[in-house]
Chain A
Amino acid sequence: MRYLVGVGNVLAGDDGVGPRVLEQAAAGGLEPDVVTVDLATDALSLVAYLDAGTEALLVVDAARLGLAPGDYRIFTPDEVETRKELGGLTTHEGDVMRVVELARAAGYPIPPLAVMGIEPRDTAMGTPLSADLEARLPAYAAAATERLREL
C-alpha cells in the first residue's frame, strides 16, 4: 500500500495545505493501491503507517523553507534538519521530521518516504488557504502523486 498523507490545520490558513492537497488528489482519481490519510494535527499517528507493508509514503505539509509563498520542495528526511524548537513532542507541536526520527530510533521500519513542503504565506487562525496556494492545488496534487509513484 502507498500512502499520501496530509498534515495541518485547515482552519489555520496555509497550515492546512496538506489536507487540501489530499482532497484535490482524491478528486482527480488515485491509483487503486494509493490511500489518502488526513492526519490533521496528529502527526504522531504517522507511526501507524510505518511498517513493512507500506510500499511508499509521501507527506504533504506546510513548511518554512525560505521559498516564495506557494513554492514547494519535495525532500527526504535525511536531506533536512528541523529548526523548530521543540521542548518535547506533543501532537500540537507535531513535526513530521521528529516523528520519523523517533520512530526510526525506536526500531520502526521506515519505508521509502518523502515530504512535500509547501511554503505558507499566512497561517493565521480562522483564515482560508491563500489565493495563490489555492490556485496551485492541482499542480501540488499532480506533483505529489507523481513523486509517490517514483518512491
Chain B
Amino acid sequence: MTQTRIRVDHVTRVEGHGNIVVNVTDGVVEKCEWQVPEAPRFFESMVRGRHYSEVARITSRICGICSVGHTLASVKATENALGITVSTQSWKLRELLKHAENFDSHVLHINILAAPDLLGAPSVFPLVATHADVVARALRLKRLGHEWGSLIGGRTTHPMSVVPGGMAAVPTAKELQELRAKLVAAVPELEAMLATVAALAPQIPAFDRPTEYVALSNDKDYGLYDGDIQSTLPDGTKERYPVADYRQVTNEFVVPQSTAKYTRHKLDSYAAGALARFNNNYDRLRPEAKQVAEAVGIQPICTNPYMNTVAQAVEIVSDVYESVALIDELVEAGVALEPLVEPARFGTGAGATEVPRGILFHEYAYDADGICQGGDCIIPTNQNHNNIQHDFEKLVPELLAQGKGEQEMALALEMLVRSYDPCISCSTHYLDVGFKRRATESR
C-alpha cells in the first residue's frame, strides 16, 4: 500500500491562516481539502447601532491591506443607501486612491510573497543575498505606493479622507503634480520588475481549470473602482448584473471544512481577483498594459490560476498610466475642497469595488436617524475559497499522475494558494522578542 499524506498547517506568505490536507492511498484520493480555520470576527454586528458617518471607519479594519477598498465599498454602499451622488472630483480622487492600493498590494505580492517560489527561496529574506536588486526595487515601489495612498487618503492604511458625501480633504494641484512626477519616474523601475516577471513566467506551473470569472465591469475603463458585476464563462459568454443584486451572484453557503463561507454562481465555483478582472475587462485595459500582457505571455481567457500573479503585474502598469491620466484631468479642472453632499433619504444600499484580491461587496440598512440597522460584507478571498478547493480537486490527481512526491505536491498546492494572494483575516501584529542585552530603558 502506498500512501501520500500532505498536511500544511498555516500556509506561509498568505494573509491569515489556511491549511492544506491531502490523503492518498494506492493512488486513490481520500481527502483533498483547502481548510480555513479562522474564527469569524463579526464586523457586520459591530456596525449595528452606529451612525452612518462611523461605519466605514469600522469596516475599513476588516483588512490591513485592502483597507482602502473596504473604505470605498463601505462608503459607496452608504451613499447608495442615503441617495448621495458625489462630485466628479471626489470620484476621480477615489479612483486615484484605488489605483494606489492596487499598486501597493500587487507590488508586495509579486515581489515579496510570490517571487520566492519562483526563485527557489523559502521567503524573501534569503533573496537579499541572491537577488538584492529585486528586493531593493520592491521596497522602493512599495514606498511609492505608500506615498501615493497617503497623499490621497490621508494615510494608506485605513484612509481618513473618504467619507460619505465626498472627500474630507483633497491634495493640492502641486502635490498631485509631484505625485505624477514620481509615477513617471518609477516607469524604469516598473520595466525592470516586469522584465523579472517575464523571465520567471516560464517557471509558472502549467495547469488549467476553466472556471467562471467575476469582476466589476463598465464600458469606460478597466472597472477597478466601479461598474456592474460581470461574469465571464470559459467560452467567453459574458453577463452583467446590477451591484444591488450581488446576492444573486455570490450565493453564499457553508461547508464543514471551512469557517469562511463559500460562493458559487453559474458553475461549481468562480474566481475573483486580478485574473478575473483581466479576463473580464481586457478590452478596456490601457494600451501600455496590453503591451506588457503580450510581453509576459498572458492573454484572455487565461484559465491557469497560477497566472493571477502575472495578471497583477499587468494591472500595476495599468494603475500607473490610469493615474497619470486622472491627475492630468484633476489638475486641469482645478482641485478644491468641496462641501460634502448631504443625505437625500435613509434606506438600504449596496456598494462594490475591486480590491487587489477581487470584487468586494458591502451593503447596509439605515433607519431614519442614519443609524445602521444591519450590514453585509462579502470579501473576495471568501469568494475564491471554493474555486481553490475545485482547483485542488483537479490538480492533485494531475500531480499524482506526474509522479510527484509529497514535498513537490505540497509546494505546488501552496503556490496555488499563494497565487490567489488570499487575505484570510487580519491577525494581531504584536512583536515577540528576546533581549540580547539589557534594553536602554524600562518602566
Q: A8-B430, A81-B434, A115-B431 are in contact. Are A88 and B147 (CB under 8 A)?
A: no
Residues of B within 8 A of A123 (CB): 428, 430
A44 adjacent to chain B (CB < 8 Å): yes
- Give residues of chain A (77-95) contacting chain B, Cβ–Cβ below 8 Å: 78-84, 86-95
Question: Contact between A88 and B13 (Cβ–Cβ < 8 Å)?
Answer: yes
Q: A79-B436, A82-B431 are in contact. Are A72 and B442 (CB under 8 A)?
A: yes
How far, in whole Å, are A13 and B428 apart by their CA atoms in the complex? 9
User: Which residues of B are at the interface with A, using a C-beta cutoff of 8 A?
Assistant: 10, 12-16, 39, 41-42, 46, 58, 61, 64-65, 67, 108, 112-113, 116, 122-125, 128-129, 132, 135-136, 139, 142-143, 146-147, 150, 155-158, 423, 426-443
Residues of B within 8 A of A62 (CB): 428-431
How far, in whole Å, are A80 and B123 apart by their CA atoms in the complex? 21
How far, in whole Å, are A114 and B431 apart by their CA atoms in the complex? 14
Residues of B within 8 A of A43 (CB): 429
Question: Contact between A48 and B143 (Cβ–Cβ < 8 Å)?
Answer: yes
Question: Contact between B146 and A48 (Cβ–Cβ < 8 Å)?
Answer: yes
Question: Contact between B15 and A12 (Cβ–Cβ < 8 Å)?
Answer: no
A21 adjacent to chain B (CB < 8 Å): no
A26 adjacent to chain B (CB < 8 Å): no
What are some 22 contacts across the A-B interface (CB < 8 A)? A11-B58, A12-B426, A14-B430, A40-B67, A41-B65, A44-B142, A45-B156, A47-B139, A64-B431, A80-B433, A86-B123, A88-B113, A89-B112, A90-B113, A92-B64, A92-B427, A102-B135, A106-B139, A107-B132, A123-B428, A123-B430, A143-B441
Q: A9-B61, A72-B443 are in contact. Are A106 and B135 (CB under 8 A)?
A: yes
How far, in whole Å, are A38 and B158 apart by their CA atoms in the complex? 9
Residue in contact with A61 in the complex, picked from B14, B430, B439, CB distance below 8 Å: B430
A140 to chain B, nearest CB (A): 9
A29 to chain B, nearest CB (A): 20
Residues of A within 8 A of B155 (CB): 37-38, 40
Question: Contact between A81 and B15 (Cβ–Cβ < 8 Å)?
Answer: no
Question: Contact between B108 and A40 (Cβ–Cβ < 8 Å)?
Answer: no
Q: Which of B13, B42, B441 has the most CB of A within 10 A?
A: B441
Question: Contact between A63 and B15 (Cβ–Cβ < 8 Å)?
Answer: no
B18 to chain A, nearest CB (A): 12
Question: Contact between A88 and B434 (Cβ–Cβ < 8 Å)?
Answer: no
Question: Contact between B441 and A147 (Cβ–Cβ < 8 Å)?
Answer: yes
Closest-by-CB residue of A relative to B121 is: A88
Residue in contact with A93 in the complex, picked from B146, B427, B443, CB distance below 8 Å: B427
Residues of B within 8 A of A106 (CB): 128, 132, 135-136, 139
Question: Contact between A105 and B128 (Cβ–Cβ < 8 Å)?
Answer: yes
User: Which residues of A are at the interface with B, using a C-beta cutoff of 8 A?
Assistant: 7-15, 37-45, 47-48, 61-65, 67, 71-76, 78-84, 86-98, 101-103, 105-108, 114-115, 117, 120, 123, 125-126, 139, 143, 147
Residues of B within 8 A of A117 (CB): 431, 433
Residues of B within 8 A of A81 (CB): 433-434, 436
Residues of B within 8 A of A7 (CB): 429
Question: Contact between A73 and B139 (Cβ–Cβ < 8 Å)?
Answer: no
Question: Contact between A83 and B429 (Cβ–Cβ < 8 Å)?
Answer: no
Question: Contact between B139 and A102 (Cβ–Cβ < 8 Å)?
Answer: yes
Residues of B within 8 A of A65 (CB): 433, 435
Question: Contact between A40 and B431 (Cβ–Cβ < 8 Å)?
Answer: no
Residues of A within 8 A of B46 (CB): 126
Question: Contact between B146 and A45 (Cβ–Cβ < 8 Å)?
Answer: yes
Residues of A within 8 A of B64 (CB): 9, 40-42, 91-92, 94
Question: Contact between B432 and A64 (Cβ–Cβ < 8 Å)?
Answer: yes
Question: Contact between A80 and B435 (Cβ–Cβ < 8 Å)?
Answer: yes
B405 to chain A, nearest CB (A): 21
How far, in whole Å, are A12 and B428 apart by their CA atoms in the complex? 7
How far, in whole Å, are A14 and B431 apart by their CA atoms in the complex? 12
Question: Contact between A102 and B432 (Cβ–Cβ < 8 Å)?
Answer: no
Residues of B within 8 A of A107 (CB): 132, 136
Closest-by-CB residue of B relative to A17 is: B430
How far, in whole Å, are A96 and B431 apart by their CA atoms in the complex? 8
Residues of A within 8 A of B116 (CB): 88
How far, in whole Å, are A101 and B12 apart by their CA atoms in the complex? 19
Question: Contact between A126 and B41 (Cβ–Cβ < 8 Å)?
Answer: yes
A43 to chain B, nearest CB (A): 7
Question: Contact between A63 and B124 (Cβ–Cβ < 8 Å)?
Answer: no
Residues of B within 8 A of A40 (CB): 64, 67, 155, 157-158
Residues of A within 8 A of B430 (CB): 8, 14-15, 61-64, 120, 123
Residues of A within 8 A of B41 (CB): 125-126
Residues of A within 8 A of B61 (CB): 9-11
Question: Contact between A103 and B139 (Cβ–Cβ < 8 Å)?
Answer: yes
Residue in contact with B439 in the complex, picked from A42, A73, A96, CB distance below 8 Å: A73
B52 to chain A, nearest CB (A): 19
B62 to chain A, nearest CB (A): 9
Closest-by-CB residue of A relative to B67 is: A40
Residues of A within 8 A of B158 (CB): 38, 40
Residues of B within 8 A of A84 (CB): 431-432
Question: Contact between B433 and A97 (Cβ–Cβ < 8 Å)?
Answer: yes
Residue in contact with B429 in the complex, picked from A41, A48, A114, CB distance below 8 Å: A41
Closest-by-CB residue of A relative to B442 is: A73
A sample of 17 more A-B contacts (CB under 8 A), given A15-B430, A47-B143, A82-B432, is: A8-B428, A15-B428, A41-B65, A45-B146, A47-B142, A47-B146, A63-B433, A65-B433, A76-B440, A80-B439, A88-B12, A88-B122, A88-B123, A88-B124, A93-B427, A96-B431, A105-B128
